[in-house]
Every structure is written in structure tokens, then in C-alpha cells.
């Protein structure tokens, strides 16, 4: 398109805007409009439009927070040769002087990271723009007013555009990152809250009872869950930004994990509620955030392969070296039962085989509309998911408290209970009577839920 044609189109688009405003004048309404200062042509791209959408959302929230009433049913949003444009009339009920409103919107611009790009205009019901008399600073140098730099041609259009595009790109990368981290950590909290709320559970603490435990109850888990939330964000942050070697990242994940554990013990009065989850979610959230940050769509295979890489050699390195000097539960179980007793380390080293065989596919199939199903149905689906895990998992919590025979028995009872409520209650009773608590499987239920939420949201 030649320059004259472009100019003509831009002028036509501006004329259209004036007409829009004139409609509101006839109705004697003041108006507020939003546009961006993009020099040159084109005035908009996909990147700019999505930035504009964010700014518009933010501005409306800001005005609402300041109790400015807009007539949103008469709002208009357009994208044409003059760029992105939004106009909305201001309610006659708004108890604010237009000058004060102009000051308010100028504060919005000033406090926004890219505020020099943003133009919020207020027109009174005679079509006169409200001005505060302040001159907007030049986007490029900030040292002079925008008008002065334009008149004196201090910068070329191209250099200003390059800076604007690169700034918007950075801004949108930060927004995307924050959204990802907030969503993932909220899914993690939701997963552990769902797990603890499944009631009753075999030998485990639930909303209804404390299973085989005497030192903790439902509220202990709520205290613990809340204390972990900030650390879920930290795991995601690490994964999202990580560019180092995967083989050396585990100590970094554990470093955050240890801080999380200390907060957990503080919140529960020294009860171990979620130590396993801290370890599993540390690795899982790191992996999920890393996969998403690389603009790759989540897949089970990508996730599992990354977990395997992170935890490569963990069973041998952490359980075998101390065979002669057993100091932890994990080492004792490994010494006694070999690979069967390698617990959660074996599970991560193999990329969560116990959940990907049946549990995650079962959730993907039955839980995708979970916001629309009733509580009894949710309970049933999550209990069945837990049973699917228990039939697969060699839970070292069970081995530690009892023996291999009891583990085998629990796995068989869990298989029977998948399709029978009566057998489920029998399994719960068996666990209670024999002081069995499949805590490892409960942790894996939380991981299954986290994975399912991510898949369902198509992150
Ligand atoms: Zn300048």
C-alpha cells in the first residue's frame, strides 16, 4: 500500500472514532477512551493487540476499584488502520469531577510499566477533551516531551517502533511467565487439598477420620498445605528460568524443598504431613514449568523423560552407598527389600510408572468435567484413582510400618475394592486394624491430580 493510501485509511479510521464519540454527545454522555501511541505503520499487530487487551482489562479493574461507573453495555472495541481503540461512556451517576477522573487515569498511565505508550482520553458531553496540562514524556528518551521530540525529529520512527516492540515483547513474556507460575502453583495447592479431602481413605488422614494416625488430623494437613504454597511458586520459578544442566538441578530443587519442609514442620507442630509431596512436587513443578516455558505443549512423555533425567541414578547414589551404615527409613527399606523397597526414589527415577499406568488415564477419562459433578461422584472417582495407584505402588510407608506380606495383601485388597464400595470399606478397616498407612500412594494421588489439572487446562 502506498503512503497516501495508508494516510487516507488512518484518517478515515480517526473520523470513524470521532463519529463514535459524537453518538455519545447526542446522549449527553461523557466518554472515556483508550488507545496506544504507536508511531508509523502498521499501528497494530497480534502482539500489540494482545497487549492492548491486557491494558484494557487492567484499566477497567482500576476504574472499578476507584468506583468509577462505566456504561459497559454501550462500550465499543475496534481494531482498524489507526490501531486498537476502546471507547465507553461514563455513567451520569459517577460522582467524580472530570478533572479528578483525568488525574486518576493519568496516575494509571504513570504507574504502568509501559505507561508512556498508553493514552486514556476523557471527553465531556460537549465533546471537549479534558486536559491536565501535563505533557507526556517521549517514549524513546524520556528526557523531553513527546511533542518536542516529534517536532525536532530527535528519533526516527523506526528506532522508536523497535524499542516499543521489544518492550512489549518483554512485558508480555513476564505476563505469560507470571500466569504460568500462578496457574501451576494453584493447581498444586488444589491437588493436595483434594487429596486430603478424599474421605474415607484406607489408613490415611481424611476429612472424616485420621486413619491409622494419632498425631495428625484434617486440620494439620490444612495448616501444612497453606504453608507450602509460596514454595510451589519457587519450584515453578526455578523451572521456568532454568537454562543450566538438568543433571545438576536436583540439589537446587532440594534447596527450596528444605525451606518448604522447615515451614511445614513449623505449621504442623513438627508433624510430617507433606515431606513426600515437597520432594515430588519440587521435581514435578520444576519439570512442568520448564516444559511450558519452552513453548512446548505438555505431554506425558516429555514430562516423564524430564523427571527421569533430573533423578538419574538417585536410587543407586542415595540408597546403595550407605548399605553398611543404614541411617534413614529409605536406606533400611532398600537394604531389606532391594528395589521393591526403593520407594519414592524408584518411582521418580522411572518417571512415575505407578501413576501413568492407570491413575492419570483414569482421571483424564473421568475427571475432566470435575467442576460440574457432585461431591459424591468426586469422592468416588478420587477413591478409585487412589486404588489404581495402590495396586501398582510398592509403598515404602507400608513396608516400613509392617512387612512385604502386608504390602501384597493391601495391593490385592485395593484391586478388589476398585469396583466395590463394600470392599473399599473392608480395605479401610484392614489398614486401620493393622496400623497401615499408604502415605506414598496418597502423595502419588496428589501428583496424578496435578498432572491431570495441567492436561485438562491444556497448558
Ligand atoms: Zn525523545
Last residue of a domain, one of 131, 155, 179: 155
Ligand 1 centroid to 122 CA: how many Å? 25
Strand order in the sheet with 30-36: 76-80, 83-90, 30-36, 118-123
Same domain, 189 and 279: yes
Residue 323: predicted pLDDT: 54
Same domain, 198 and 90: no
Ligand 1 centroid to 172 CA: how many Å? 24
Preceding peptide of 200 cis, ω within 30°: yes
Asked if the model's pLDDT at residue 429 lies above 90, the reply is yes
d(CA 313, CA 330): 15
Ligand 1 centroid to 3 CA: how many Å? 24
Average pLDDT over residues 361-390: 97
Q: Retrieve residue 155's grid coordinates.
A: 528519533
Same domain, 118 and 199: no
Picking from 74, 96, 104, the residue whose alpha carbon sits closest to that of residue 87 is 74
| Dihedral of the alpha carbons of 335, 341, 346, 350, in degrees to the nearest 10 | 130
Ligand 1 centroid to 101 CA: how many Å? 28
Asked if the model's pLDDT at residue 324 lies above 70, the reply is no
Tell me the pLDDT band of 455, cut-offs 50, 70 and 90: very high
d(CA 428, CA 383): 11
Ligand 1 centroid to 27 CA: how many Å? 40
Residue 13: predicted pLDDT: 92
Residue 325: predicted pLDDT: 75
Same domain, 80 and 205: no
Average pLDDT over residues 155-183: 96
Ligand 1 centroid to 108 CA: how many Å? 22
Same domain, 315 and 437: yes
Residue 319: predicted pLDDT: 86
Domain range for 106: 3-155
Picking from 153, 124, 147, 117, the residue whose alpha carbon sits closest to that of residue 134 is 147
CB within 8 Å of 251: residues ≥ 6 apart: none
Render 265-311 in DSSP notation, one character per residue. HHHHTS--SSHHHHHHHHHHHHHHHHHHHTTPPP-HHHHHHHHHHHT
Ligand 1 centroid to 160 CA: how many Å? 9
d(CA 426, CA 406): 15
Residue 398: predicted pLDDT: 92
Same domain, 357 and 262: yes
Q: How many distinct structural domains can be found in the chain?
A: 2
Last residue of a domain, one of 126, 155, 184: 155
pLDDT tens digit sequence for 16-39: 999 999 999 999 999 999 999 999
Ligand 1 centroid to 38 CA: how many Å? 14
Residue 295: predicted pLDDT: 77
Tell me the pLDDT band of 327, cut-offs 50, 70 and 90: confident
Ligand 1 centroid to 41 CA: how many Å? 19
Tell me the pLDDT band of 345, cut-offs 50, 70 and 90: very high
Average pLDDT over residues 336-353: 92
- The structure's pTM equals 0.91
d(CA 440, CA 449): 14
Mean pLDDT of all residues belonging to the chain = 94
The CATH number that applies at residue 128 is: 3.30.70
Ligand 1 centroid to 150 CA: how many Å? 8
Ligand 1 centroid to 40 CA: how many Å? 16
Asked if the model's pLDDT at residue 322 lies above 60, the reply is no
Tell me the pLDDT band of 422, cut-offs 50, 70 and 90: very high
Ligand 1 centroid to 228 CA: how many Å? 47
Same domain, 147 and 173: no
- Contact indicator for 443, 348 with CB cutoff of 8 Å: no
d(CA 436, CA 35): 64
- As a whole-number percent, the residues of the chain with pLDDT over 70 amount to 99
Is residue 161 included in any domain, yes or no?
no
Average pLDDT over residues 359-368: 97
Same domain, 150 and 192: no
Average pLDDT over residues 396-408: 91
Same domain, 227 and 304: yes
Picking from 243, 283, 242, the residue whose alpha carbon sits closest to that of residue 260 is 283
Asked if the model's pLDDT at residue 342 lies above 80, the reply is yes
d(CA 240, CA 257): 17
Average pLDDT over residues 387-415: 94
Ligand 1 centroid to 149 CA: how many Å? 5
CB within 8 Å of 269: residues ≥ 6 apart: 220
Asked if the model's pLDDT at residue 260 lies above 70, the reply is yes
Last residue of a domain, one of 155, 179, 201: 155
Q: How far is CA 145 from the centre of its chain?
A: 40
Amino acid at each position: 500500500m502506498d503512503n497516501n493510501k495508508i494516510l487516507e485509511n488512518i484518517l478515515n479510521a480517526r473520523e470513524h472514532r470521532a463519529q463514535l464519540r459524537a453518538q455519545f454527545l447526542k446522549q449527553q454522555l461523557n466518554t472515556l477512551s483508550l488507545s496506544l501511541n504507536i508511531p508509523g505503520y502498521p499501528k497494530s499487530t497480534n502482539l500489540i493487540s494482545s497487549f492492548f487487551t491486557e491494558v484494557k482489562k487492567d484499566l477497567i479493574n482500576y476504574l472499578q476499584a476507584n468506583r468509577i461507573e462505566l456504561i459497559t453495555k454501550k462500550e465499543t472495541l475496534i481494531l482498524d488502520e489507526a490501531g486498537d481503540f476502546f471507547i465507553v461512556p461514563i455513567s451520569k451517576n459517577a460522582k467524580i469531577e472530570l478533572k479528578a477522573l483525568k488525574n486518576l487515569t493519568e496516575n494509571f498511565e504513570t504507574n504502568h510499566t509501559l505507561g508512556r505508550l498508553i493514552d486514556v482520553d476523557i471527553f465531556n458531553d460537549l465533546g471537549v477533551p479534558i486536559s491536565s496540562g501535563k505533557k507526556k514524556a517521549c517514549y524513546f528518551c524520556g528526557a523531553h516531551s513527546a511533542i518536542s521530540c516529534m517536532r525536532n525529529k530527535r528519533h526516527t520512527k523506526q528506532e522508536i517502533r523497535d524499542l516499543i516492540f521489544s518492550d512489549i515483547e518483554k512485558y508480555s513474556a513476564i505476563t505469560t511467565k507470571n500466569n504460568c507460575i500462578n496457574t501451576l502453583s494453584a493447581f498444586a495447592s488444589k491437588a493436595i487439598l483434594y487429596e486430603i479431602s478424599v474421605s474415607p481413605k484406607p489408613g490415611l488422614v481424611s476429612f472424616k477420620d485420621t486413619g491409622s494416625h494419632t498425631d495428625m488430623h484434617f486440620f494439620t494437613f490444612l495448616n501444612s498445605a497453606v504453608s507450602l504454597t509460596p514454595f510451589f511458586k519457587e519450584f515453578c520459578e526455578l523451572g521456568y528460568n532454568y537454562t543450566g544442566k538438568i543433571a545438576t538441578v536436583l540439589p537446587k530443587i532440594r534447596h527450596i524443598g528444605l525451606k518448604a519442609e522447615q515451614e511445614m514442620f513449623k505449621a504442623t507442630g513438627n508433624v510430617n504431613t507433606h515431606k513426600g509431596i515437597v520432594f515430588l512436587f519440587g521435581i514435578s513443578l520444576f519439570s512442568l514449568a520448564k516444559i511450558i516455558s519452552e513453548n512446548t505443549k505438555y505431554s506425558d512423555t516429555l514430562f516423564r523423560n524430564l523427571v527421569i533425567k533430573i533423578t538419574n541414578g538417585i536410587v543407586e547414589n542415595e540408597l546403595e552407598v550407605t548399605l553398611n551404615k543404614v541411617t534413614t527409613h529409605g536406606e533400611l527399606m532398600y537394604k531389606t527389600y532391594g528395589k521393591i523397597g526403593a520407594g519414592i526414589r524408584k518411582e521418580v527415577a522411572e518417571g512415575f510408572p505407578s501413576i501413568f499406568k492407570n491413575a492419570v488415564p483414569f482421571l483424564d477419562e473421568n475427571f475432566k468435567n470435575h467442576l460440574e459433578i457432585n461431591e459424591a461422584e468426586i469422592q468416588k472417582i478420587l477413591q478409585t484413582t487412589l486404588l489404581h495407584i495402590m495396586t501398582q505402588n510398592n509403598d515404602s510407608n507400608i513396608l516400613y510400618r509392617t512387612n512385604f506380606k502386608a504390602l501384597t495383601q493391601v495391593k490385592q485388597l485395593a484391586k478388589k475394592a476398585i469396583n466395590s464400595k463394600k470392599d473399599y470399606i473392608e480395605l479401610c478397616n484392614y489398614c486401620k486394624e493393622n496400623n497401615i498407612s499408604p502415605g506414598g500412594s496418597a502423595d502419588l494421588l496428589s501428583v496424578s491430580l496435578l498432572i491431570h489439572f495441567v492436561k485438562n487446562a491444556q497448558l
